[in-house]
Amino acid sequence: MTKGVGWTQIEGGPTLEFQVGDVLWCPPEHKHWHGSTPTQAMTHIAIQESLNGSPVQWMEQVTDAQCRAGPATPGAKRDH
């Protein structure tokens, strides 16, 4: 991440917080979402490979409830 504070979640896992300098890796074939928190914007750089000519498969929109829920433990951070 280059600025702000964000949250991310891989389907079935906890919502985690990430901050400036953190690097996220989302495993292939796993649905995930990431974005800013309700109170802080964030910017990031995304790098992805193409599969069958497409770099991304957009899924359903993240709900407001998911976005507001945040980390189960406030300040919980990714370990990598």
Burial of 9 (0-12, 13-18, 19+ CB in 10 A): buried
In a domain? residue 28: yes
Query: Is residue 78 assigned to a domain?
Result: no
Q: Is the pLDDT of residue 80 over 50?
A: no
> How many domains would you assign to the chain?
1
What is the rounded distance in angstroms from the CA atom of residue 23 to the CA atom of residue 69? 22
Tokens 């000519």, located at residue: 53
Determine, yes or no, domain membership for 76: no
pTM: 0.72
Structural domain includes residue 75: no
The tens digit of pLDDT for each residue in 47-72 reads 887 878 877 777 888 787 877 777 86
Q: Give 20-32 pLDDT, tens digit per residue.
A: 999 988 877 888 8
Residue type, 21: G
When the pLDDT of each residue in the chain is averaged and rounded to a whole number, the result is 82
Which range of residues forms the domain containing residue 59?
3-69
Token pair in block for residue 76? 């919980």
